Amino acid sequence: MAKAIHSMIRVLEEARSVAFYDTAFGLKVETRLDFESFTLVYLRNPEADFEVELTVNKGRTEPYDLGDGYGHLAFVVDDLEAEHARLSEAGLEPRKLVSFAPDGGEPIARFFFIADPDGYQIEVLQKAGRYR
């Protein structure tokens, strides 16, 4: 059986990205591997083994073109409104809260999106149902 262990994103400024993921999601540097032309920074929190891997290509000065293929990372939280308020107070500018009810039926998810410093989209979901 396969187990998902990380998702990698390329970031322009290591410190800025590490600070964002710590403030927003409590992810701390688990491992930092420094190589001649790039650095890998693995972030995680005590809630899960899954990591966000930041790749910092040394000498890169231009923001990455995220293209139209990237979707988003997703995190679940126990109290969506409280997290939205906390992130707003931290100046991280989360977007509006949304209830997702396909075809006008019962809502199957409540969430908001927030962008990291490099423009990567992150969905923050209320822990419920299949989102656990």
Per-residue pLDDT of the chain (132 residues; tens, 9 = 90+): 878 899 999 999 999 999 999 999 999 999 999 999 999 999 999 989 999 999 999 999 999 999 988 899 999 999 999 999 999 999 999 999 999 988 888 888 999 999 999 999 999 999 998 898
Catalytic residue among 13, 14, 30, 123: 123
* pLDDT for the residue 3: 85
62 noted as active-site residue = no
What superfamily does domain 1-60 belong to in CATH?
2,3-Dihydroxybiphenyl 1,2-Dioxygenase, domain 1 (3.10.180.10)
Domains 1-60 and 71-132 share a fold: no
CA-closest candidate to residue 6, choices 21, 19, 20 = 21
**What pLDDT score does 35 carry?**
96
Alpha-carbon span 76 to 79, nearest angstrom: 9
Identify the pLDDT of residue 40.
97
CATH 3.30.720.110 corresponds to the domain 71-132: yes
